[in-house]
Amino acid sequence: MDGDMHDPLRRLRDRLMRELRRAAAEEGVSDADLLALLAFETGALLACQDPGVLMPEEGVDLVWRNIAAGNLAALAIMSSERHRRN
């Protein structure tokens, strides 16, 4: 997902995050618990990958690259919002 994301993947991410945030709010789930849940599910998905298609090291690298990309995107959004308020 890092770098150039295709439209279907972007739409799916947006849809999943919208639903996840809505459900978390309805259930009263904290951000920390949501993070733990997503980390758990990421680990489970990583373990289920076909090693003939994605070696474990490649999967871990993919996850780390996307964590970094998500952090940068979030920081850019927060910085942009801060500049709009000033």
pLDDT tens profile 23-59: 999 999 999 999 999 999 999 999 999 999 999 999 9
Residue 55 gets the label, from left (phi > 0), alpha (psi -120 to 50) or beta, of: beta
Both tokens of residue 8? 């279907």
* pLDDT confidence tier of residue 5, bands split at 50, 70 and 90: low
C-alpha torsion angle, residues 58, 64, 66, 69 (rounded to 10): -140
**Per-residue pLDDT at 86:** 63
The count of C-alpha atoms lying within 13 angstroms of the C-alpha of 2, restricted to the half-sphere facing its C-beta, is: 12
Collapsed DSSP state (helix, strand, coil) of residue 33: helix
Q: What percent of the chain has pLDDT over 90?
A: 83
pTM for the structure as a whole = 0.76
Backbone torsions φ then ψ of 66, nearest 5 degrees:
-75, -30
What integer is the mean pLDDT of 3-18?
Answer: 86
Q: What is the spatial distance between Cα 44 and Cα 49, in angstroms, rounded to a whole number?
A: 9
